[in-house]
A and B are shown apart, each in its own frame.
Chain A
Amino acid sequence: MNTSQTPVAGASGSRAGMKKELPEHFRSYKHVWVFIEFELGRIHPVSLELLGEGRKLADQLGVELAGVLLGSGEHGLNDATGSCFAYGADLVYLVDHPVLAQYRNQPYTKVMTELVLKYQPEIMLLGATVLGRDLAGSVATTLKTGLTADCTELAIDDERSLAATRPTFGGSLLCTIHTLNYRPQMATIRPRVMAMPKPVEGREGRVVPYTPDLQEDSIVTKVLSFLPDDASEASGLAFADIVVAGGMGLRSEENIQLVRKLAAVLGGDWGGSRPLVQKGWIGADRQIGQTGKTIRPKLYIAAGISGAIQHRVGVEGADMIVAINTDPNAPIFDFAHLGVVADAVTLLPLLTEAFRQRLLVNRLAG
Chain B
Amino acid sequence: MRIFVCIKQVPDSAQIRVHPVTNTIMRQGVPTIINPYDLFGLEEALRLRDRFGGTVTVLTMGPPMASESLRKALGYGADRGLLLTDRFFAGSDTLATSYALARLIEKAAEEEGMPQIVFCGKQTIDGDTAQVGPGIAQRLGLSQLTYVSAIDEIDPEKGSITVRRRADHGVQVLTSRLPAMITMLEGSNHIRRGTQSDVLRAAQAKITQWNAAAVGITDLSLCGLRGSPTVVKRVFAPAARSEKADMIPATGGGSATAAALIDAIFARQPALEEDLISAAGGY
B-binding residues in A (CB < 8 A): 1-2, 5, 10, 15, 39-40, 44, 102-106, 109, 129-131, 133-134, 136-138, 140-142, 144-150, 163, 168-182, 220-229, 241-242, 264-267, 284, 290-291, 298-299, 309, 312, 319-323, 328, 333-342, 346-347, 350-351, 353-356, 358-359, 362-363, 366
Contact = CB atoms under 8 A, between A and B. Distances in A.
Contacts of A225: 172-173
Contact of A149 (B130, B138, B229): B130
B116 to A, nearest CB: 14
Interface in B23-76: 23, 25
Given A39-B168, A176-B234, A226-B170, A130 B277 contact: no
B277 A335 contact: no
17 contacts: A2-B139, A39-B169, A133-B146, A134-B146, A140-B131, A172-B18, A174-B237, A176-B236, A222-B175, A320-B269, A338-B245, A338-B261, A338-B264, A339-B248, A340-B261, A342-B257, A346-B254
A334 B240 contact: yes
A178 B261 contact: no
B273 interface: yes
Nearest to B260: A340
B135 A141 contact: yes
A137 B229 contact: no
Interface in B253-283: 254-255, 257-259, 261-262, 264-265, 268-269, 272-273, 275-277, 279-281, 283
Interface stretch (B80-88, B92-100, B195-203, B204-212): B92-100
Nearest to A312: B238
A227 B174 CA distance: 11
B272 A340 contact: no
A179 B18 CA distance: 26
A171 B18 contact: yes
Contacts of B144: 105-106, 134, 138, 221
Report the interface size class on chain B: 35 or more
Given A137-B138, A177-B233, A178-B230, A335 B262 contact: no
Nearest to A309: B238
Nearest to B98: A141
B224 interface: no
Main secondary structure on B side of the interface with A: mixed
Contacts of B107: none
Given A1-B102, A179-B229, 8 more contacts: A1-B141, A150-B128, A170-B16, A221-B143, A227-B173, A338-B248, A347-B254, A350-B258
B232 A103 contact: no
Contacts of B128: 149-150, 169, 290-291
Given A39-B169, A169-B128, A172-B18, A354 B139 contact: no
A291 B132 CA distance: 17
A80 to B, nearest CB: 16
A354 B245 CA distance: 22
Interface string B114-139: 00000000000111111111110111
Interface string B175-187: 1110000000011
Contacts of A169: 11, 13, 16, 25, 125-128
Contact of B131 (A147, A351, A362): A147
Contact of B230 (A106, A146, A298): A146
A172 to B, nearest CB: 5
B283 A147 contact: no
